[in-house]
Structure 1
Amino acid sequence: MRTAYHVDAEWDAEAGVWVSSSNIPGLVVEAETLPEFVELVQALAPELLADNAGVHGKVRISFKANGALDLAVA
């Protein structure tokens, strides 16, 4: 049975970055924008899965982003 891999992006308002939480061994990502975050995951995850988990071939990674906005309402 294949492992179900996931990456979650949480918005850290204090630091102003998206921060990763993942079950991909060695994956730690921080980025100012969500598109940049996704690009980093796409660049880093394949090598980390191959090197740290012995995974090869196509792998599906589920992705979730969670953040909040504080808005001033007139």
Structure 2
Amino acid sequence: MSARAILVDPTTGVILRVLSGEPTMFAQQVAGSELLFAITDDPDGLIDDRNLIISETGEWEVLPGAPEDFAVPTSLVELIAL
């Protein structure tokens, strides 16, 4: 089964890496103080990490300067406790 996840800097919310593959392997990709978020209900399959971060509440947030027509993904992110 293939799934997707993101690794996030906990201080800034910046998306460091997007992972795709076997979910049981995701925890092995976390380095230092990075946070791991599973991506669910992801019909679009695109995470524009140039225009998105993860907010303090654990939700998608559009960065200032993003194109006016930029839309937040419909996918959900869920923090994975390690």
TM-score (structure 1 length as normaliser)? 0.29
Q: Which has more radius of gyration?
A: 1
Larger % of strand: which? 2
Larger % of helix: which? 1
Bigger relative contact order, structure 1 or 2, given CA contacts below 8 A and separation 6+? 1
